[in-house]
Chain A
Amino acid sequence: MNFIPKKWIPLLTTATVFVLLFSAASWQYEGFASMYVVADLFSENAFLGITAIGMTLVILSGGIDLSVGSVIGFTSIFVATMITDRGMNPIAVWMMALLLGTSLGALMGALIQVYKLPAFLVTLGGLFFARGMAFFVKPEAVQIDHPIYDSLGDIAIPIGGGAELGVAPLIFLSVFVIVLVITHFTRFGRNLYAIGGNEESALLMGLPVARTKIFVYTANGFLSALAGITMTLYMDSGNPINATALELDAIAVVVIGGTLLTGGVGYVAGTMLGLLIYATIYQITFFASLRSSLATIAIGVLLLGFIVLQKLIHRK
């Protein structure tokens, strides 16, 4: 196995698991290997995908962000309330929501970096804060009925086989491409890997550690708010309990995607594969009409497998 670079092993394993899982499901269940299912994989998990990409950046930098689920929930109810109850223009509301999410991310990043506080505790504060504010905005679900939402809901790009991609998966795929380019072809991307690999060395090399780390949390705040907006586009409603504990799923997707939780090693493309595995497992339980709790357990087992695998590779 020497001809395969060690850092690619988790990514290759993820890809193999996905291919095996999808093939097995296609063989077992009639109609699984269709473009409808593929479109579903992207559509139903678009908001999880967006926030998992942000989480990948945070984990690559060696940190963690527990607040994303709450920020998504807050954004969804904020957007819905402002549009439906206050009659505001959706585009203005989206800008406000993105600004709020980005500001919370920047504030948490600054607290973590400037005061050297544990990311775990600060973003835990963010989790409680955003969830509480979501219920403060409105304690119950709000429907969105607006011409802009209607016309965005009509968007459908045919991807063959009669299946179509709506606006939510399109946002997700755009985010994926943009972040993929940023992490691989910009100075920020290289700084990110360097800091995650060894923060002290990065600092000694004169890399902008503080700026990069604060930016990562800021970007994740922005992406969480974007995920919240995407959720309202997909569901045409907002609810303060939306995306409860979604941060766990996001972290699981990132880890299954082959990103090391210690930082510095991993790929945004891996996170995409991780998301596809996650989505496929849920699709299988749907096709086989199994209990969805089995999917949760399966993801836990997969998480265990990947973490142990990472450890074994790391040790060699």
Chain B
Amino acid sequence: MSDASPNSTDRQSGNSKSALTRFFGSRITWPVLGLAVVLLFNAIFIPSFFTLEVRDGQLYGSLIDVLNRGSIGVILAMGMTLVIATGGVDLSVGSVMAISGAIAALILTETQLGMLGIVPCVLFAALAAGLMNGVLVAYLKIQPIIATLILMVSGRGIAKFITGEKIITVGDDSYNFYFDFIGKGHLFGLPFTVTLFVTLFAVTSLFVRMTSLGLFIESVGANETASRASGIHDKGVKIAVYVFAAFCAVIAGLIDASNINAADTMNAGVFTELDAIFAVVVGGTALTGGRFSLTGSLIGAMLLQTLMTTLYTYGVPSDVAPVPKSLVIVAVCLLQSPVFRGQLQRLAGKGGGR
């Protein structure tokens, strides 16, 4: 894969003011346009999509549903964005989600500790998972796809081992208000999951942009050797992003387990890593690393969820929904391919010549 083409056009356009706006445009434009198209389609064909209802001081409707269900995707995409920005990828987040859900369900059903037990345990799990991925990538220099594949394969085994290979249901006797609140509670009239992902997005964005960490991440992704030469602890940066991705994954795992009131290790988080990668790529962060956009990933994840919810509204069975999703993935890849853009431009040029 060559350099992301948006970047190369940016360089040519110099540093005038319009070029700057175009630069921001070229990254976020595609996902925003995509989202706008899907929403416009809904506005025309499913007007009820935009209906908001207030019941008991809480908002309900398809849009709220998108925000609620999309929360897991957004949270995973935040971690995945930073990993991809360093030139890596984390395939293990789905399995880490399953581990997190398994730990939570086990603590709720077997102990009286509640969240006081869950939080330190899942944080420790995130640290362990992130360290393992990070050390393999940073110190042993193993390709990220492969390094994280190990935990993707064995992580689900670990999760199944924790639950004893069965679905642990969090029933009435093990009810915990705080755990229940994570996935099903409401705050400020919105599902709590919305507060959760907005907070995570805001904190992460501020943290990487207000400190030099964001610059370090981009620098490691763009040129690892040069970053090391200029004094950046490239290995530390890499380990940090994998730990952060695992941290996002355990939060997503808690939401998922709280939502279904159970730890279903067979199905929890399956293919979510792929959705997260997709959201990041749609959001304009190239898989080759370097510049990243958390806002782009947020919109990418929302685009994906809106698309899915629209399909469900149309009665497309959830099992068949991956078909259109796959077409969008390939279309996005093609649009980012310099070869394909060249072909398009030549076609357009020919048309103009006549």
Query: What residue of chain A has the Cβ atom nearest to residue B158's Cβ?
Result: A297
A115 and B323 CA atoms in complex are apart in Å by: 21
Q: Are B145 and A64 in contact (CB under 8 A)?
A: yes
A311 to chain B, nearest CB (A): 5
- Interface of A: prevailing SS: helix
CB <8 Å contact, B317 and A135: yes
Q: Shortest CB–CB separation between residue A68 and chain B, in angstroms?
A: 14
B143 adjacent to chain A (CB < 8 Å) = yes
Which of A230-246 touch B at CB < 8 Å? 240, 244-245
Contact, CB under 8 Å: B320 / A120: no
Residues of chain A lying within 8 A (CB to CB) of residue B83: none
CB-defined contacts of A268 to chain B, threshold 8 Å: none
Interface string of B305-334 (1 = CB under 8 A from A): 000000000000101111111110110011
Q: Which of A187-230 contact B (CB under 8 A)?
A: none
A residues within 8 A CB of B277? 121, 124
Find chain B residues with CB under 8 A from A122 CB.
Answer: 330, 333
Inter-subunit contact A311/B165 (CB<8 Å):
no
Pick from A132, A293, A304: contact of B161, CB below 8 A. Answer: A293
Contact present for A128 and B317 (CB under 8 Å): no
Give the contacting residue for B287; candidates A114, A118, A131, A295; CB below 8 A. A118
Asked if A48 is an interface residue, CB under 8 A from chain B, the answer is: no
B153 within 8 A of A: yes
Please indicate the chain A residues that have their CB under 8 angstroms from the CB of B141 in the complex: 311
Binds B, one of A7-15, A141-149, A167-175, A248-256: A248-256
Interface on chain B toward A: helix, strand, loop, or mixed SS? helix
Q: Mark A63-76, 1 if CB is under 8 A from B, else 0.
A: 01000000000000
A296 within 8 Å of B by Cβ?
yes
Query: Does any Cβ of B come within 8 Å of A181's Cβ?
Result: no
B314 to chain A, nearest CB (A): 14
Is A125 engaged at the interface, CB distance under 8 Å to the other chain?
A: yes
State the CA gap A96–B282 with chains docked (Å). 34
What residues on B are CB-neighbors of A111 within 8 Å?
A: 330, 333-334
The CA of A262 and the CA of B158, in the complex, are separated in Å by: 28
Residues of A within 8 Å of B278, CB to CB, are 124
- Interface check B160, CB cutoff 8 A: yes
**A255 and B322 form a contact (CB under 8 A):** no
Which of A126, A133, A308 sits near B140, CB closer than 8 Å? Answer: A308
**Is B146 located at the chain interface by the 8 A CB criterion?**
yes
CA distance A303 to B323 in the complex (A): 31
Whether A291 sits at the interface, judged by CB under 8 Å, is: yes
Interface string of B53-72 (1 = CB under 8 A from A): 00000000000000000000
- B333 near A117 with CB under 8 A, answer yes
Q: Knowing A307-B146, A308-B140, A311-B142 touch, does A117 contact B337 (C-beta < 8 A)? A: yes
Is A157 in contact with chain B by the CB < 8 A criterion?
no
Q: How many A-B residue pairs have CB under 8 A?
A: 140
Within 8 Å CB of A133, what residues of B?
320, 323
CA distance A136 to B147 in the complex (A): 34
8 Å CB contact of B157 from A136, A255, A261, A294? A294
B178: CB under 8 A from chain A? Answer: no
Chain B residues contacting A275 (CB-CB under 8 Å) are none
Q: Is the CB of A125 within 8 A of B146?
A: no
Query: Would you call B199 an interface residue if the criterion is a C-beta within 8 Å of the partner chain's C-beta atoms?
Result: no
Near A by CB (< 8 A), chain B positions 103-137 give 136
B274 at the interface (CB under 8 A from A): yes
Check if B156 is an interface residue, CB within 8 A of chain A.
yes
User: Residue B75 at the A interface, CB < 8 A?
Assistant: no
Known contacts A128-B326, A248-B149, A308-B140; is A295 also within 8 Å of B157 by CB?
A: yes
Closest Cβ of chain B: how far from A93's Cβ, in Å? 21
Asked if B329 and A118 make an inter-chain contact with CB atoms under 8 angstroms apart, the answer reads no
* A293 in contact with B142 given A118-B1, A132-B321, A299-B153 (CB within 8 Å): no
Q: Closest B-chain residue to A303, C-beta based?
A: B150
Contact: A121 with B154, CB < 8 Å?
no
**Complex contacts, B319 vs chain A, CB 8 Å:** 131-132, 135, 139, 240
Name A29-62 residues within 8 Å CB distance of B.
none
Which A residues are in CB contact (< 8 Å) with B158? 293, 297
The answer to whether B154 and A129 have CB atoms under 8 Å apart is no
Judge whether B268 is part of the interface by a CB distance below 8 angstroms: no
Q: How far is the CA of A240 from the CA of B140 in the complex (A)?
A: 39
A72-127: which have CB < 8 Å to B? Answer: 111, 114-118, 120-122, 124-127
Q: A261 vs B143: C-alpha distance in the bound complex, in angstroms?
A: 9
A26 at the interface (CB under 8 A from B): no
A residues within 8 A CB of B143?
A: 261-262
Query: A297 touches which one: B89, B154, B271, B339 (CB < 8 A)?
Result: B154
**Of A116, A125, A139, most B-chain CB atoms within 10 Å:** A125
Question: Using a CB-CB cutoff of 8 Å, which residues 259-283 of chain B contact chain A?
Answer: 270-271, 274, 277-278, 281
Known: A117-B333, A311-B141. A303 touches B149 (CB 8 A): yes
Q: Known contacts being A124-B274, A126-B326, A128-B323, is A114 close to B157, with CB within 8 Å? A: no
Q: Which residue of A lies closest to B151 (CB)?
A: A300
Q: Mark A250-278, 1 if CB is under 8 A from B, else 0.
A: 01100100000110000000000000000
B106 to chain A: closest CB distance in Å? 14
Question: Which of these, B1, B160, B323, B329, contacts A293 with CB under 8 Å?
Answer: B160
Contacts of B156 in A (CB 8 A): 296
Pull 8 A–B residue pairs with CB atoms less than 8 Å apart, ordered by A: A115-B337, A120-B145, A124-B329, A128-B329, A248-B153, A262-B143, A300-B153, A303-B154
The 7 A-B residue pairs whose C-beta atoms are closest, nearest first, are A300-B154, A296-B157, A135-B319, A132-B323, A132-B322, A128-B322, A293-B160
Q: Beyond the given A118-B287, A128-B325, could you list 4 further A-B residue pairs with CB under 8 A, ordered by the A residue number?
A: A115-B334, A120-B89, A133-B320, A249-B153
B residues near A, CB below 8 A? 1-2, 89, 136, 140-143, 145-147, 149-158, 160-161, 164-165, 270-271, 274, 277-278, 281, 287, 317, 319-327, 329-330, 333-334, 337-340
